[in-house]
Structure 1
Amino acid sequence: MKKFLLVFVTAFGFLHASLFMEPQYNDDVKVLQTLDIESSFLRDPIFLQLKNSLTTSKRNHYLKMLERGSLYIPTLRKMIHDNNIPQVFLYMAMAESNFDTHALSHAKASGLWQFMPKTAKIYGLKIDRYIDERRDPVRSTEAAIAYLKRLHRLFGKWYLAALAYNSGEGRVLRAIKRAGSDDLHVLLDEKKKYLPRESRNYIRKIVSLALVANDAEMCFSGEQSHMFNRTEGRSLVRVKVSGGETLEHIASQIGMSGNDLKLLNPQFNYSFTPPDEGAHINIPYSRLTRFKEVYRPGRQKNMFLVHTVKKGESLSKIAHRYGISYKMILSFNRMKRPVIYPKQELIIPVPKGSLHHYRVKKGDSIYKIARRFGIKVATLKARNDLKGNIIHIGDKLVIPN
C-alpha cells in the first residue's frame, strides 16, 4: 500500500509540474525563437546556472539593475518594438551596463549600450567636451538599434548579431569559419572555445535576464514582481532647447526639479546644454504639453560655456575676453581665491547677445574676420588671447558684439 501511495504521489508531482511549467516553457521557447535560438538551449547547464542565480544569490542585484533602469525601460522597450527587432535586446543594455548610463569600461566603452568612441561616431553619436551621446538613453538606443540591424543583415541570425555586438564582427566570422558552422550550440562549445568565455556567456546572460523578467510573477512575489511593470506608460520625448542654457532653468519652466531632468539627460558633461548651437534634451512625455506652452528659447539671462585655462592666463584676462567681471567667474565656479592653473576648466557665464562664436574657414584672415564683424583687429585678438595674426582653419573665435 505504501509503495502504491509513493508511486501515486510521484506521478501526481510530475503531473502537477507539467501543468504549471509547460505554459512557461512554451513562453520561454517563444522568447528563444525571436533570437533564432533552438529550444534545446534551455538545457544548457551554464545557462541554467546563470538563470537560477538571478532568482537566488543575485536576486537583489537583479532588482537593483531593474530599479536603476526604470527611468528608461519604457522608452527603450517602445523603440525596440517600433523598430521590429527582438524585445530580448532590451536586456542587452542590462547585460552591457547594468542599466547604468555612466558605466565606463576599461576599454573606454560608455553608456547603456557600451559604445566605443570609434563605433559611436560611425553611428552618429556626438562626443565632445560638452556632450557624450553614448550616455543619452534615447540617442544611444537609436544607434544600438541601427548597429544590431546591420549585424543582422550581415549574419542573418539575431543570436549571431548579439555575439558580434559583444565580441566584434571579425571574431564571430573567424569563429564560424573555425567551427565550420554558425550553430549556437557549436559556437558555445566549452572545450573547443571558438569564442572567448565572455562572449560565450554573453548570450546566455542576455537570455537569462529576459526569461527571468518574462517569468517575474513566478520568480518574484508581491511588490518585487510589481517592479517589472510599474513604469509602463512613462516614456521620454526629445525637444529642442537653446544652447548654453542650464538644465535647472529649463526644468523650472516645465515644473520639474533640476535633478530629475539631469537624470534623464546624463549625456551632458556639465549642468547646461552645449553653447555653440541648440541642443535636444529628454523630458517626460507627460511634460510635453507644458513645454510647448511655456518654454521660450533665450529666457535665461546668461548662456554658459567652458574655458580651458592656458599657460600664462590670468583670471582678469579671461574675464576681459568674455566681457564679464572676474568675480562672476569666481562665483559660478565656487572659487574662494582668484588662483587658476593651466588646463583647469572654468564655467563662464556670458550675458546673452554679448558675443558669439565663429569657426575659421578656408581663405579667412584675422583682418577679414574683424572687418566682417565690424570690430577692431586689436579687439578680436584681445578677446581670443592671440599674440600674433596667425589663425587656422577650424579655429573657433569669440566675436564680441
Structure 2
Amino acid sequence: MLKYLLTLLFPFLLFANLTYESNHNKELKLLESFDIEPSFINDPIMNKMRNKKSSIQKNKLFFNAMENAYIFIPSVKNVLNQYNIPQEFLYLAMAESNFKTKAYSNKRASGLWQFMPRTGKLYRLKIDQYVDERRDLVKSTKAASKYLTHLHKKFGKWYLAAIAYNCGEGRLSKAIKKAGSDKLSVLLDPKKKYIPRESRFYIRKIVALALIGTDEQFLLKSEYEYLLNRANAYSIATVKLPSGESLKRVAGILNIPLKDLQNLNRHLKYDFVPPYAKKYDIYIPYIKLTEFKQNYYEEPMKNIYKVHTVTSGDNLSYIGKKYGVPYKLIKGFNNLRTNKLRLKQKLIIPIANTKKIKKIDTSSYYLVKRGDSLESIAKSHKVSIKSIKSFNHIKGSLIKIGDKLKLYE
C-alpha cells in the first residue's frame, strides 16, 4: 500500500522539488544581478524583511505600490535596459519612494528616485516655477540610470552602486578603505559599522523587495496574480505639447479623467505646459496614443484661458489677486520682461476661460487721486506705509494717479 501511495505521489513530489529548484535558481540569479554572493540568500535580517513584506494579510503596502505604478513600470524598465542597468534596480526606486512620483523627503529629495535639487540639476533635470523634472517618470529614470552607471564604473559592483546611491560615494569610499574590503558581508558588519545603519538596511530592503516582486509562485497564490501580466500590458507614451497647453483640455480630448493625466505628469507644478517651451514632453496612457494622433489639434491660448484687458490703475499684483493667480505666472505666461503694463494691453491669465471669477472686495483697495501720497493714504485709512508697500510690491515711495492700492488683507 505504501509503495502504491509513493507511486501516486512521486510526480507531485518531483514537481514540488522542481518548483523549489526553479525558484531557488531564480533567487540566486537575482543576487548575481546585484553582484552579490549566493550565501546572502540566508541573511537573517534580509529574510525577516522579506517575510514581513510578503505577508499579504499583515502588509499590503508592496501590492498597493505595484498596483499604483503598473502603468509606468514597463517604461521605467525600458529605460533601465537602455542603460544596461539590471532590471532589479526597479526596486531601488520602490525602496526610495514606494513608486510615488510626488514623494518628497524632509531633506528636500523628490520624485521616484528621490533626487536632491543639486544632484537633479547636475543630471540636467529642470527645476523652476513651472516644473520639477525630478518627478518626471522618464527623465528622472534616465538621470538615475546615468548616476548608477557612474557609480558602477567607480566601484565595480552593482550592490556597491546601490549603497553609494544611499549614503554617497565619498562615504562609501572611506568605508571600503577603512574595512580593507568591498565585500558585502564585511561592509554589513553591525559591530564595525563601516557604513551607516540606514545603508546596511537599505541594500537588504532592495533585495527583499526584488525577491518578492519576482516570486511568481507567491503572486500566483495571492489575489494579486493579475499584476504578473498587467505590468507588461500597460505603459505610457510620450507626446509633445505646445507652450501653455492645458492638461484639462487634453484629458477631454482623450476622454480620460484629469486626475489620471495629472498622475502621469507630476513634474508639472500646474495643469499646463510651461509657457517658455515651444514643445514639451507630456505622458499619456499608451492605449490612448492613436486617439491622440487622430483627435488632438492646437488651440490658441486665448481660446483656452481667460484674457484680461488692462484698464487704468491695473498692476500685475492686483490682476493676480483678482484671478487668484500668482502675478509671476501672469508675467511668465505673457513673456513680460518688466512689471509695467499699458492701457488696453491683453494678458493671458492661466485659468480656464469658463471659470467664474469672484469679485474683489473693493473696500480693501484705494484708487490714487491727485495730491495723494503714501503717507496721506496710510494716515486716512489707519494703516502703515510699510503694509501698503508690501501688499503692492512698491520699493520706493512713488505712486501714480489711477493706481489701485491694496490696503487690507
**TM-score normalized by structure 1?**
0.73
Gap change, CA 1:312 and 1:223, over 3 Å in 2:
closer
Q: Measure, in 2, the Cα distance between the counterparts of 1:303 and 1:224.
A: 42
For 1:145-184, list aligned pairs within 5 A: 145-184=145-184
1:190-231 deviation per Cα after TM superposition (whole angstroms, max 9, x unaligned): 111111111111111011001011114225624312223313
User: 1:256 maps to which residue?
Assistant: 256
TM-aligned CA deviation for residue 135 of structure 1: 0.8
Amino acid at match of 1:49: K
* 1:295 corresponds to: 296
Deviation per CA, 1:29-70, whole angstroms, max 9, x where unpaired? 000101100101111110111111112275311111111212
What is the RMSD computed on CA atoms of the aligned residues? 3.3
The count of residues paired between Structure 1 and Structure 2 equals 328
Match of 1:358 in 2: none
User: Does structure 2 conserve the Cα–Cα contact (< 8 Å) formed by 1:315 and 1:339?
Assistant: no
Partner of 1:55: 54
5+ residue gaps, structure 1: 1-12, 306-310, 341-384, 389-401
Structure 1 CA distance for aligned equivalents of residues 121 and 103 of structure 2? 18
Partner of 1:238, secondary structure, is strand
Instruction: Output the amino acid matched with 2:146.
Output: A
Letter in 2 for 1:148: L
1:230 maps onto 2:230 in alignment:
yes
Q: For residue 32 of structure 2, what is the aligned residue in structure 1?
A: 33
Instruction: Give me the identity figure in percent.
Output: 46
Helix, strand or coil at the partner of 2:171? helix
Specify the code of the residue in structure 2 equivalent to 1:281. Answer: I
The structure with more radius of gyration: 2
Q: Is the 8 A contact 2:101 2:111 kept in 1?
A: yes
Within 2, Cα distance between the matches of 1:215 and 1:199? 24
- C-alpha distance in structure 2 between counterparts of 1:193 and 1:223, whole Å: 40
Which residue is 1:93 aligned to?
A: 93
Aligned equivalents of 1:109, 1:44: Cα separation in 2: 30
1:114 equivalent in structure 2: 114
Structure 1 residues 145-173: Cα deviation after superposition (integer angstroms, max 9, x where no partner): 11111111111111111111111110110
Asked whether the 8 Å contact 2:241–2:281 carries over to 1, the reply is yes
Equivalent position amino acid for 1:85 in 2? I
What amino acid sits opposite 1:120 in the alignment?
G
Give CA deviations for 1:329-358 in whole Å, capped at 9, x if unaligned: 798887634269xxxxxxxxxxxxxxxxxx
Work out the CA distance in 2 between the residues paired with 1:67 and 1:330.
32
Structure 2 contact 265–282 (Cα < 8 Å) conserved: yes
Please give the alpha-carbon distance, in whole angstroms, between the structure 2 residues aligned to 1:386 and 1:297. Answer: 39
Higher alpha-carbon deviation: 88-97 or 273-282: 273-282
> 2:23 — aligned with what?
24
Give the drift of 1:386.
10
- In 1, Cα distance between equivalents of 2:173 and 2:145: 21
2:257, 2:219 → 1: CA distance? 36
Letter in structure 1 aligned against 2:194: Y
- Does the 8 Å CA contact 2:243/2:280 hold for their aligned counterparts? yes
330 and 86 in structure 1: CA distance in 2 versus 1, 3 angstrom threshold: closer
Do the aligned partners of residues 71 and 326 (structure 1) sit closer, same or farther apart at CA in structure 2, a change above 3 Å counting? closer
Q: Judge conservation of contact 1:132–1:268 (CA < 8 Å) in 2.
A: yes
Q: Tell me if the contact between 2:103 and 2:110 (Cα under 8 Å) persists in the aligned partners.
A: yes
Counterpart position of 1:214: 214
- Cα distance change on mapping 1:325 and 1:167 into 2, 3 Å: closer
